[in-house]
Amino acid sequence: MTTDSDELLKKHSNLIHSEGVKVESHTQREQGEWVLQTLMIEGYDVPFKYRRNKKFKSLAGQKVNLTYYPREQTIAGFKVETMQVVRVRRY
């Protein structure tokens, strides 16, 4: 039996899937019509970002399954590694 994440991983070679990771912090900021969600995950030094059209219940302290792409952003002239989240599911 294959899951949705298995199918996504087959189609997109750069995609990464992590299960049961703990969210240390979850911030939500309005960005135009969208709400930018930023997660900090235990054991990782990079932010995991995604957008939603409305605010979401805080995931701080929760365990989640994440599907994401590694990404590099330039902020104030510096290159910063971030993770672009494709899918978040509570564990």
Average pLDDT over residues 6-11: 62
pLDDT digits (tens, 9 = 90+) for 10-66: 666 689 999 999 999 999 999 999 999 999 999 999 999 999 999 989 999 999 999
Q: Give the pLDDT score at 91.
A: 85
Compare 24 and 3 and report the one with higher pLDDT: 24
Domains and CATH numbers, the chain: 4-90 (2.40.50)
Phi, psi of 8 (to 5 degrees): -65, -40
pLDDT exceeds 60 at position 1:
no
Which pTM value belongs to this model?
A: 0.82
Nearest to 16 by CA among 89, 91, 87: 87
The terminus-to-terminus CA distance of the chain in angstroms comes to 19
